[in-house]
Structure 1
């Protein structure tokens, strides 16, 4: 088991016994600001997932011992909110359909170009409610429901735009972490932040108003000078 750490962004787990693939993806995803945790067999996911929750699992079908479809079934039964992408050398439409019927969120055949994998990961991560369909977050007196894209405060519903909801959920998944503008832009848009683009700052300002935050002295979405932003759930 090995890992290489990148701050703030999505935590991806690769379950595959191909050591060369681990090394290739570890470096490639690290260069694109993703943290990759490598496991060599399905059995290792039991202990790992009991200690920390990944944002996405890359699961090879042809594993030693119990195959990937067994572990996909186990994951979807026990952790249905974690998206799983199957990896397989089997290219037939039938095999792909079987994987999707088992509940896989995507299916990628080997060999594949790392850039295609990155594109597919970003596609899944741009739909944050996929990984947390039934999760709600308490932010002070606000109850945030990502699936329905709204806040509830004092029995009043406050509608959020899709961009606002995506950004707020990204913060909620990493409370008390300092998130840079590059980090946020990579996660939501798939590219680095452009210095003249103020869309992230404008979205945060709108979120502050909807959270009932104070613009000059925010309690929840705080600016960390020259670093980025940090969300505090219970100030």
Structure 2
């Protein structure tokens, strides 16, 4: 996640708070630095202040929607006018939060955005951290190198991408990728998940993207 705001105290507060809730926060103090940053990283969400030094947040929101439209943006502003809020939403922001705000409200809004059905990149390409998954051609790529997937791994990753952000039970996953051969309580899904985590470059002890939801199932997060 990326915060673009010249308020260093806000950055320090949110960095600690969001880290406690398992979110990593990068920080830029002005919009002019976003171009270089986004050439190397793709955040899952940008928190963008409107009252930035130089060009304001609405300018950078328009720039983001023209150049990085797949990245959701939440606007932050001390201004409370309905006109500015509507303008921000018309420019394509996913949400708008006025300052000062309670960190828990920000967290709830972040989670709500993360739960929304993801939009694939052009040509059906999904970004999962440093990986790119081409759903149409069933190809996984990282650092310009193709990573070989088995048929079951590819089917599983397709299903997870199409339902990213949702908690999926083991049985629903098995039924989706095995069809009529689905067997309730089939534990082979767990083995396929573990293999897929390794191919995605995940820390299998503490995965960031393909996570186990205790007693419920699995969830894939399309995040950097």
TM-score (ref. length: structure 1)? 0.62
Structure 2: how far apart are the matches of 1:138 and 1:132? Answer: 9
Structure 1: how far apart are the matches of 2:122 and 2:137? Answer: 21
Paired position in structure 2 for 1:206: 175
Q: Does 1:36 align with 2:37?
A: no
Deviation string for 1:55-110 (max 9, x for gaps)? 11000000011110110010000011111100000001111011111111110000
Structure 2: how far apart are the matches of 1:205 and 1:101? Answer: 41
Q: Pick closer, same or farther for the CA change 1:134–1:62 going to 2, 3 Å.
A: farther
- Partner SS, residue 222 of structure 1: helix
Question: In the comparison of the two structures, how many residue pairs are matched?
Answer: 177
Report if the CA contact (8 A) 1:16-1:63 is conserved.
Answer: yes
Gaps of 5+ in 1: 1-11, 144-157, 172-186, 190-198
Paired position in structure 1 for 2:161: 168
Q: Does 1:21 align with 2:1?
A: no
TM-score (ref. length: structure 2)? 0.65
Counterpart mapping for 1:55-66 below 5 A: 55-66=44-55
Structure 2: how far apart are the matches of 1:52 and 1:116? Answer: 26
Q: CA RMSD in A?
A: 3.8
Structure 2: how far apart are the matches of 1:222 and 1:169? Answer: 19
Structure 1: how far apart are the matches of 2:23 and 2:86? Answer: 28
Counterpart mapping for 1:52-91 below 5 A: 52-91=41-80
Deviation string for 1:12-38 (max 9, x for gaps)? 100000011001100111010111111
Give 1:222 deviation, angstroms.
Answer: 3.3
Gaps of 5+ in 2: 126-132, 140-154, 198-203, 211-219
Q: Pick closer, same or farther for the CA change 1:57–1:134 going to 2, 3 Å.
A: farther
Give 1:221 deviation, angstroms.
Answer: 3.4
Q: Pick closer, same or farther for the CA change 1:201–1:215 going to 2, 3 Å.
A: closer
